[in-house]
Structure 1
Amino acid sequence: MRFGGHETFAVRETWLSKGLRLAAEDAHAFDDPLVADSLGVGVNMAKSIRHWLRLTRLAASLGKDGFAPTPLGRLVLKHDPAMLRPATWWALHVNVASQSGEAVAWHWIFSRFPGDHRFDRRQCAEALNRHLEAEGHRMPSPRSVSSDIAVLLSSYAKPVPPSDEDPEEAVDPPFRQLGLMVHYRASDTFRIDRGPKPIPPEILCYSLATTFMGERSAGGWFDVHMREAVGRPGGPGRVLALSSDAFAACLAETERVLGRTSLRSEMLGGDRVIRVPAFPSADWLAEHFRRAG
């Protein structure tokens, strides 16, 4: 179970695309003491870029062979090297928020924290501490928890009303553009938005594959009960911050756009079951790039 690693920095625009290109050009670039100069950032920012590349699964350590793009990273470099497509950021968000052992605060806030009503930073950190204690985990320092919560909220919460004073907020951090969380500036409180969102259809399949495919694929398909897809921690309903109604709407749109050969839902024994082809999650992002041209 890990906390920190981000050096208190949320992901910024261009950071991951720069870092990914550098890792592709030289697998040992991030071992170089001067890597910050190559990236055009400060030393701690360079450490943060490496952390986020690893956490989003765009790049991975190869031990003595360095640090290089994963198959997902190579796919993004080929089809969206500047990382301008929303589907890329949706996929990276799924990668971060669905894993419980690395991005503990991210997994917890989207999968277990009832953030539908407004909350502040202190309430959020205290709730995470109570959760960790109840689960019997080794307790991190209060500073580590507070730091992770601060970075998470800074990453995702879109200010309301928008700030016209802080130059750091002139361009939203990329994850804010997903519309998952709101920051009410007047009261300095936050809320998770579980309503409908413009989620690319392939991303629903990407999230289903990330969470469920390894457990139950057989015969080229895997089945997920609707209630699991909506409510399971790390699953698409939680990670994509969708209420039951919003998930049903997203599922219907996915079926309409992709067709029933790519995904279909049907009633079995009084329960709705989603049937998905057993493709690796990255294949769904590749399919989105193909469909989007």
Structure 2
Amino acid sequence: MAKSIIDSSEEKLHFAGHETFPLRYGWLKKAYDAVVEEEKSGISPGSIFNDEKSIATFGVGRNMVLSMKHWAIATSVLISREIPGERNSRISTGMLGDILFGEGLDPYLEHPGSLWLLHWMLASRPGRATAWHWAFNEFHEPSFDRELLRRRLTQRCEELVEAGRMGKGRSVSTSTIKRDIDCLIRTYYAGSKGSRRAPEDSIECPLAELGLIQAAGVGELFRFRRGPKASLPDAVFLFSVLDFWENIYPDRRSFSVEFLTFERGAPGQVFLMDEEAVADRLARLESLSGERLRWDESSGMRQLYMHDAVNVDRWEILREMYKQDLQAIAA
């Protein structure tokens, strides 16, 4: 049986932080570049987000500055580390940020794989975007509206409080949950053409291009789009398998198709893929990994194996994907 958020006792859970704004185009690069500039100048990285000059630096209001910081950390473009005895956490660049923006392999998020990577970082583990992780890994209704999501997430938060996962005496307010649900839907659903939306909603989140949340009839009824994902590159799927493997189950040497489809935080859950779609992907990973992974379905069990003492560099897999695609475009 798949575990729930409650079982991940190592994760510190967070709600809100986005200031009601979904991620916007350009925000991640601006946040990354600002932190890199501070590092070069000898300034404590991340100070800009708490500085009064941040409004002029980023050209947005104070709430949007905080939202930019939130999304950069939630997607692992930036890394936030709490240091005992220090008031503010330390900010540094993350590996994904270094590849996309530092190395310049996709600074404007034009490669479809980049959006899938950002989604993976948001939804594969609880933490900075707990509601996102919960929605893709624990909520399985065929259709839903905002109210159903709110009620179910409220119930989960009550369970987290009882389990002591929210900290002593802490709870999540109804208004916070409502804002998280609204922002979650706006992250993946751009709305139908001609729909009446507030001016601040006119700039859609880049993750809406993934089409993971769709309208389910008239009114405010939605559904998650499950099944094969044609725009998801095999290299990104391989990255997700390795990331899941190394961070959550580092001592295992094999996974079944069922496990990688239905376990919380697994690629099948996060990418909303069914069992056959996951199996099709896994069958292609042996050659893509340079045969360091082995796919075996001869016994009918359909298992993915990692050779003992073999470490597959998931970040190098991404670099090769971008470089090969850039060369193909140049040719």
TM-score, normalised on structure 1? 0.87
Task: Count how many residue pairs are aligned between Structure 1 and Structure 2.
Answer: 288
Q: What does 1:1-293 correspond to in 2, within 5 Å?
A: 1-26=13-38, 27=45, 28-61=47-80, 67-77=91-101, 78=103, 79-115=105-141, 117-134=142-159, 136-137=162-163, 138=166, 139-159=171-191, 161-163=192-194, 166=197, 171-184=203-216, 186-197=218-229, 198-214=231-247, 217=250, 222-252=253-283, 258=288, 261=291, 263-267=293-297, 269-275=299-305, 278-293=311-326
How far the C-alpha of 1:234 sits from its partner, in A, is 0.6
How far the C-alpha of 1:113 sits from its partner, in A, is 0.3
CA contact (8 A) 2:124 2:266 kept: yes
Larger Rg computed on CA atoms: 2
CA distance in 1, matches of 2:36, 2:312: 25
Residue 2 of structure 1 aligns with an amino acid whose one-letter code is H
* Identical residues among aligned pairs (%): 28
How far the C-alpha of 1:43 sits from its partner, in A, is 0.7
Residue 32 of structure 2 aligns with an amino acid whose one-letter code is L
CA distance in 1, matches of 2:266, 2:206: 22
**Aligned-pair Cα RMSD in Å:** 2.6
> Quick check: 67-76 or 190-199, which moved more?
67-76
Deviations 1:53-78 (A, max 9, x none): 11111112366795331222111111
CA contact (8 A) 1:30 1:67 kept: no
CA contact (8 A) 1:206 1:285 kept: yes
CA distance in 2, matches of 1:71, 1:175: 20
Q: Is there any run of 5+ residues in structure 2 with no aligned partner, and where?
A: 1-12, 39-44, 327-331
CA contact (8 A) 1:97 1:103 kept: yes
> Quick check: 59-68 or 238-247, which moved more?
59-68
What's 2:6 paired with? none
CA contact (8 A) 2:123 2:136 kept: yes
How far the C-alpha of 1:162 sits from its partner, in A, is 2.8
> Quick check: 203-212 or 20-29, which moved more?
20-29
CA distance in 1, matches of 2:253, 2:246: 6
TM-score, normalised on structure 2? 0.78
